[in-house]
Each structure stands twice: as structure tokens, then as C-alpha cells.
């Protein structure tokens, strides 16, 4: 894997640390629900799923 692709994964990791930090996560801690689930759970699982998809695409596309 080339250095720039490793850098993309590092940027993704830093972005996830910011997205999962307490102040950002608490922005979604509200009384509102989506399909019966609290908004914070929807946020956490959506960010987690998107990060898995992005990392899969980076590794699959640029694996040499």
C-alpha cells in the first residue's frame, strides 16, 4: 500500500476520533427518535457503518 493511501486511513481515523468524541456525540443526545431508536444510537451506528465502508473502499481499491 502506498504512503498516500495509508495517509487516507490515518485521516479517517482522526475523523472518527473527532466524530466519536463526547461533545460531538452529545449533540445527537435528544428526545427525538427515528423508527423507535434514540437519535444518538442512529448517529453512532451510522458513523460506524460509513467508516467501515470508506475503509473497505480504500483498502480494496488501493491494495497492491
What pLDDT, on the 0 to 100 scale, is given for residue 61?
Answer: 82
Burial class (CB in 10 A: 0-12, 13-18, 19+), 25: middle
pLDDT in tens, 49-62: 999 999 999 888 87
Examine the pLDDT at 63 and tell me if it is beyond 80: no
DSSP at 26: H
Amino acid at each position: 500500500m502506498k504512503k498516500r493511501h495509508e495517509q487516507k486511513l490515518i485521516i479517517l481515523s482522526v475523523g472518527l476520533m473527532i466524530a466519536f468524541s463526547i461533545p460531538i456525540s452529545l449533540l445527537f443526545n435528544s428526545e427525538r427518535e427515528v423508527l423507535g431508536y434514540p437519535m444518538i444510537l442512529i448517529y453512532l451506528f451510522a458513523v460506524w457503518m460509513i467508516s467501515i465502508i470508506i475503509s473497505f473502499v480504500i483498502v480494496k481499491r488501493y491494495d497492491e
